[in-house]
Amino acid sequence: MQKYFRDQETLKKCRIYQMLLENATEPHLSFHTPGHKVGGWDITELSFSDNLSAPRGCILEAEKEIAEILGAAKSFILTDGSTCGVLSMLYAAKSLGVKSVALPKNGHKSVFNGCKLLGLTPLLYENEAPASACTEIFDVADGILLVSPDYYGNVPDLRWVREYCDERGKLLLVDGAHGGHLHEDKTRYAGTYADFWVDGVHKSLPAFTQGAVVSARTERCAAALREGVDIFRTTSPSYPIMASVEYAVKYPRNVELEEAAWEFQKHPRIQSNDDWTKVCALFGNRAFDVEKELEEEGIYAEFCDGNVLMFYLSPATKLRDFERLKTRLTELFERYFCSPEKQTQRIPAPLVLRKNGQTEWVKLQDCAGRICAADCGLFPPCVPLIWAGERVEKDKIELLRKADNVFGIHEDKILVYKEETGYEKR
């Protein structure tokens, strides 16, 4: 555990960690779950360990302190990823009367699945455009969901959307799966503006994978959110993950690293953005080659989209490791030329929907020109690259074939409609 929880000063402030330290290091005879019977930190709800579902002790205190740090009326610790937070906040919005939600086209699959599951009408807007250009969609939606920051570190105009929502009485939801660290910078932080927001603390802060927080701005929103969390959250939360969420939220800034990362964003081959934790290096169509070369030296990026190689930092990144990355990238920029254009995010073709259409799985190399029947894309960022209803294009197939990880694809096959006719516009 010490390997993961290194900052001693932060640990002193962590309620769940201290509870585990006091109680879980003493061996006891386990006739309780989990079944590995090894004991230690991976325990269950025992008389001393409190209960995430109805906390009364250290977890309640930890959640209160997290809410205070994040500026929320109420925050819930999650051990099932930001996905659980997204589903819970969509549920809460629905229970407050929301029937349709404006969603960005670069939304994560959990957002689209949440709408499907809850019967909410998704109204897609162009995330590339400034928020003020999306009012045609925003005007007809009951709630607005923003992704902030996105996987490339872009933060939308949160202040403008908050004012817009206030004027029209709409709810604002922010998927901050990549913005857990931003509570240190209130002007860019989701919690300064949103009614409901998710902080994916396992991505940009030092929490274990799946650690996240979902928060509500007011008591009324908190009551609705509690219902959502009770439905979607596991009843067997991992104590190490819970402890790591508290640790991550309380983790201090790494100002030296932040400054170095901002400075590197000035490089013409780094795509500048609003978030120091996302280093987006432009390599054009050589990006996969560069990714492989770096992996041979033991340097792994977060993802490659066939143009950008994205390197994810957190306050726990060592400055010397960042310096090594910088040096290698600077060398590679010389060897792999690519014009420093802003990355163009792929805007899907007009969406169509076919009711009751018959589908079949077809090999990737054979599906160009067919109509896709299930969203699929690169993993990460888990944003649909080809939407259900969209005609499959050759260059997207190439990208899916090159990528190490994908979603919505099975055994190199993609789900397509059998017939060409009878589509309805979405």
Ligand X SMILES: Cc1ncc(COP(=O)(O)O)c(C=O)c1O
Cβ-based burial of 46 (10 A; exposed 0-12, middle 13-18, buried ≥19): middle
Q: Does 224 bind ligand X (CB under 6 A)?
A: no
DSSP helix, strand, coil percent of the chain (3-state; round to 5): 40, 15, 45
| Beta-ladder partners of 82 | none
Q: What span, in angstroms and rounded, lies between the C-alpha atoms of 46 and 118? A: 34
Shortest CB 284 distance to ligand X, Å: 24
Residues from 168 through 197 that contact ligand X (CB under 6 A): 175, 177
Among 75, 79, 110, 215, indicate the residue that binds ligand X (CB under 6 A).
110
Q: In this structure, which amino acid lies at residue 29?
A: L
Q: Which is nearer to ligand X, 211 or 389 (CB)?
A: 211
- What is d(CA 308, CA 264) in angstroms, rounded to the nearest whole number? 15
Q: Tell me which residues in 297-356 interact with ligand X (CB under 6 A).
A: none
328 burial (CB, 10 Å; 0-12 / 13-18 / 19+) is middle
Q: Which stretch binds ligand X (CB under 6 A): 48-56, 78-86, 114-122, 220-228?
A: 78-86
Return all residues near 390 (Cβ < 8 A) that are at least 6 apart: 348, 349, 351, 352, 371, 372
**Nearer CB in complex with ligand X: 146/222:** 146
Among 151, 152, 164, 303, binds ligand X (CB under 6 A): 151
Interface segment toward ligand X; rule CB under 6 A; list 117-125, 138-146, 229-237, 376-384: 376-384
Options 89-97, 218-226, 274-282, 375-383: segment touching ligand X (CB under 6 A):
375-383
Rounded CA separation 105/397 (Å)? 19
CB nearer to ligand X: give 19 or 87: 87
Name the nearest CA neighbour of 109 among 344, 388, 415. Answer: 388
352: tokens are: 């169509």
Q: Kindly state whether residue 277 participates in binding ligand X, applying the rule CB under 6 A.
A: no
Q: Which residue's CB atom is positioned nearest to ligand X? A: 81
CA dihedral defined by 349, 375, 153, 170, rounded to 10 degrees?
A: 80
**Residue 249 lies near ligand X (rule: CB under 6 A):** no
- Pick between residue 191 and residue 200 the one whose CB is nearest to ligand X: 200
> What does residue 278 show for φ and ψ, rounded to 5 degrees?
-110, 110
Q: Which stretch binds ligand X (CB under 6 A): 77-85, 238-246, 257-265, 313-321?
A: 77-85
Q: Does 240 bind ligand X (CB under 6 A)?
A: no
Give the torsion sign (CA, 173, 174, 175, 180): negative
Q: What is the rounded distance in angstroms from the CA atom of residue 4 to the CA atom of residue 238? A: 15
> Can residue 381 be called a binding residue for ligand X (CB under 6 A)?
yes
Binding mask 18-47 for ligand X (x = CB under 6 A): ------------------------------
Options 12-20, 82-90, 312-320, 347-355: segment touching ligand X (CB under 6 A): 82-90
Look up residue 347 and give its DSSP letter.
P
Residues that contact ligand X, how many (by CB under 6 A): 15
Residue 35 in 3-state DSSP? coil
Does residue number 10 form part of the binding site for ligand X (CB under 6 A)?
Answer: no
Could you tell me which stretch among 14-22, 59-67, 348-356, 380-388 binds ligand X (CB under 6 A)? 380-388
In the complex with ligand X, which residue's Cβ is closer, 14 or 383? 383
- If the CB atoms of residues 93 and 177 are measured against ligand X, the closer one turns out to be 177
Strands 377-378, 212-216: pairing kind: unpaired
Element (H, E) at 75: strand 74-78
Binding ligand X by CB under 6 A: which of 104, 114, 153, 200?
A: 200
184: tokens are: 């240190």
**Contacts to ligand X by CB under 6 A:** 81-83, 86, 108, 110, 147, 151, 175, 177, 200, 212, 380-382
